Structure 1
C-alpha cells in the first residue's frame, strides 16, 4: 500500500518541491502550510509519517508536535536550520523520531523516510501479520510487547515513539551490558543512515523523562560516561 506523507511548512515553494519529489518516489502527499490546520488533520486522519518544519508562524513545529504527541505516536521527522541546535534537541525531546538540517538533500530526506517507515513495518510484521508475533520481554519492572508496541513500567503504560522503542529494546535485550552510541544507532537507524551522537543522547533523555512521569524513582537506564548506556534490571 502507498505510504501517505504529511508535509508541514509555511514555505509553499518547499512544500511544492518536496511533494513533487515524494510523488516521484511513489508516496502520496498531504500539504499543510499552517500548524493549526495540520494538527487537526493529523489527529482526525493520521498519515503514515509527518515531515514538519520547526520555524512557522502562529503554531511552530515544536508546539505542533507537543500537541500531536498527546494523541498520536505517528512517525515524525523535523526539518530545521543548521544553526538551531537547541531546536533540534528540543524537537527530539518532545518525541520526534528524527530531524534533518536545512539545507538538505531531497535524496537524504527520502532515505530517512524510507528507513523510518521500514522500522514501523517491522513492528507491524511482528504483530503477527507475517509469521508468529514477537515475544513479550519482561525485565524486572519493565514489560515490552512488540506486537502491540506497548511498554509498561510496574503495570503503568509508557507511550514511546518507534525510535524510542527500538533503543529501549536494544538496551533491555541484555541487562547490564553497556551499549555505545554506535550500537544504539544501528538498532534504531538502519540502512547506514547517519545520525550524530546528540540524537541518541536526546532520545535517552526523552526515555528517562517519560518513565519518570509514571515512576519518579525510575533509574533503569545508566549512563557510563565515555562508554555508553545500559539497562539496569532491578
Structure 2
C-alpha cells in the first residue's frame, strides 16, 4: 500500500507579533496514531523542510496516545526535526496527503506552488486530499489544470470564524477559512464549535477543528 504524506508548518510565530505558534501537536500525533494502528506508513513534509515548531498551547491538550507518538524517536526525527522538502517528494509514492493545522499554516500553506502540485498530482492519480482545522489553508488555492479551484463545488470544513473568535485570533489571522473557501466555490459546512466533525466529499476529506483529527484519519482509512 502507498504511503500518506503529512504536511506541517515551519512558521514559529503569528506574523507581525512575538506570539508563538506552530504545529498543533494533536493534529499530527492523533492522525499518526490512527495510521499506525491501520499499518499505513507516513512521511512528513513542510514548506521549507527541516524543523517544525510546536504551538505551545497544543501541549495542554494531550493524552497518553498523543504523548506516545510525541515521544517516539522516529516522530521526533522525521516529523519535528527533519521533515522533507517538497522537492524531495515524489507524489507517485502516496495515496493521500494530509494537511495538519496550527495557526502557522495560514501563512505558509496557501500559496506554496510545490505543495499544491504534489496535492494535485495525488488527487489526479485517484488519491485523497485531506486536512484538519487550519490545515484547510493548504486546499483553498489549489487549482486543477483547467484553472478551476479543486474545492469548487465540494463540501468541506475547517476552523470556523466562531472558533477563531473564541481562540482570540480573529483579528490576527490573514483570512477566515469560510470566507476564502466560499469565495473559491466551496460549500462550507460546520457544526458546533470545538466538537468533532469531519466530512468526505469524493476525494476530499476535511475536519473542522483540533478534535477532528482522528475522524479525518478514520474516514481516510475507510477509503483506503
What TM bracket, shorter-length normalisation? 0.3 to 0.5
Please tell me whether Structure 1 or Structure 2 has the larger radius of gyration of its CA atoms: 1
Higher strand fraction (1 or 2): 1
TM-score, length-scaled by structure 1: 0.38
TM-score, length-scaled by structure 2: 0.39
Higher helix fraction (1 or 2): 1
